[in-house]
Amino acid sequence: MFFPYFVVARSSGNIIRIIQRSSPPGDSDTVMNVHASTMSLHRYQSLFDAGHDLISLKSVLQ
C-alpha cells in the first residue's frame, strides 16, 4: 500500500512536490517528508487550483 507524502523545503516550509511511498522516505538536511492526509491533499489542490505556486506546509495542515 502506498501513502502520500509532502516533500517540504526546510528553509522555507514550502511544499516542493507530493510523492507516493510504501514507507516514509528519509529526511535530509534540505528537505523533510511529511505524511499527507486526504484533507491536507484537498487543501493543497485547492490552493494550487487557485493559482498559488508557493504553498506552505503550514497552510495545508491548518
pLDDT band at 54 (very low <50, low <70, confident <90, very high): very high
Query: Which grid cell sits at 25?
Result: 522516505
CA–CA separation, 37 and 45 (whole Å) = 12
Q: Where are the beta strands (DSSP E) in 1-62?
A: 3-9, 15-21, 31-35
* Lookup result for grid cell 493559482: 51
Closest CA to 41 of 14, 2, 9, 4: 4
* CA atoms of 16 and 30, how far apart (whole Å): 11
The 10s digit of each residue's pLDDT in 4-33 is 999 999 999 999 999 999 998 999 999 999
Q: Is the pTM of this model over 0.85?
A: yes
The pLDDT of residue 62 is above 90: no
Over residues 34-61, the mean pLDDT reads 97
Q: What is the pLDDT of residue 27?
A: 97
